[in-house]
Structure 1
């Protein structure tokens, strides 16, 4: 599998918490196998559950899905699920992006942190990253989504009216981080359209 390089280099970063697992599942199942972007998912889960969840998703999705591994390349055609208990970051350059982990420093309320993942993606991919905040309780993801928007990327939140838990999307909206607010059922189509739009230079 080759890294996605060139003008249209991009990534999709998805964050979710309470009520988010079924939304992430339906979203990933609807993404095509030829999506021209790697996907990172940060879902708040207890230790020991992310590997099993990723393996289950891998059987249901067109894209390859797996729990992320330290130092592996971040490449198109693959969904990388952040392991519970560690912060996941994307480092390097758009053409040579890799996964890195940080131990919990003790001062983070959410581990893994959506904010941490999205902020790292914004630093690497700049205008070529799409950030998506889904259902959840709390405010994780709001600051990271704002960093993506400031970097010139695209930002999407699940509509609070259709989210199982609305406070994470509402926090992102309140911070001015959300470029688009999308109903749950329209998320796959919207993400594919935005990926295609970036690839076309729009």
Structure 2
């Protein structure tokens, strides 16, 4: 199945909310893409990320509570105690496994790489640990693009540093600059 639009996966953890706000505050209008935001969340605390992001973008922000078809011009937010994969242009929701370390970004990015190939874009923002490394590599290996928040602008630089060290992102910038650069890919 040929994909006609870009799908952008965004991964973040600690310090990710300010980075996400900066990203969406600077996102150019009329970007012909779908966005999927995966963050490390507490299993038992309902996320309000959709409400937070709604104040920083005119695009609809959707909590992904069940399987749903990806559409251009929408932001999909992975919710607490779940992981999301992309398959045949749909988001597929699964209960998060019992492991302590959350790997929701790798899970999302790996499936995005397989489904959207060169139309996949992975963005890593502030966070600790190394979630996103293997997924970013798969996106790159399948012809997609990887962009990373500059470690000196990240509240917690672990995730950006891990991806920079394990991959070759095409850009290492502040979140607002990453958002502005997306227009050049469309």
Q: Distance in 1 between matches of 2:9 and 2:70?
A: 12
Contact 2:3 2:116 in 1 (8 A): no
Deviation for aligned residue 1:45: 2.2
**Deviation of the 1:7 alpha carbon:** 6.4
Counting only pairs closer than 5 Å after superposition, residues 1-202 of structure 1 correspond to structure 2 as 8-46=4-42, 47-50=44-47, 52-92=48-88, 97-107=89-99, 109-110=101-102, 113-194=104-185, 196=186
Q: Relative to structure 1, is the Cα distance of residues 185 and 31 closer, same or farther in structure 2, using a 3 angstrom cutoff? A: closer
C-alpha separation between the residues in 2 aligned to 1:101 and 1:7?
Answer: 21
Q: Relative to structure 1, is the Cα distance of residues 7 and 147 closer, same or farther in structure 2, using a 3 angstrom cutoff?
A: closer
**SS class of match (2:38):** strand
- The answer to whether the 8 A contact 1:134-1:157 is kept is yes
TM-score (norm 1): 0.84
Q: Which residue of 2 is the match for residue 199 of structure 1?
A: none
With over 3 angstroms needed to count, the CA separation of the structure-2 counterparts of 1:90 and 1:6, relative to structure 1, is: closer
Counterpart CA distance in 1 for 2:31 and 2:94 is 28
> 1 CA distance for matches of 2:24 and 2:175?
12
If the length of structure 2 is used for normalisation, what is the TM-score?
0.91
- Deviation string 1:30-57 (CA, Å, 9 cap, x unpaired) is 224422010000111224342x220232
Bigger Cα displacement from structure 2, 72-81 vs 31-40: 31-40
Judging changes above 3 Å, is the alpha-carbon distance between structure 1 residues 177 and 117 closer, same or farther for their aligned structure 2 residues? farther
RMSD, aligned α-carbons: 1.9
Structure 1 unmatched ranges of 5 or more: 197-202
Question: Which runs of no fewer than 5 residues in structure 2 stay unpaired?
Answer: none
Give the CA deviation at 1:177. 4.3
Number of corresponding residues: 185
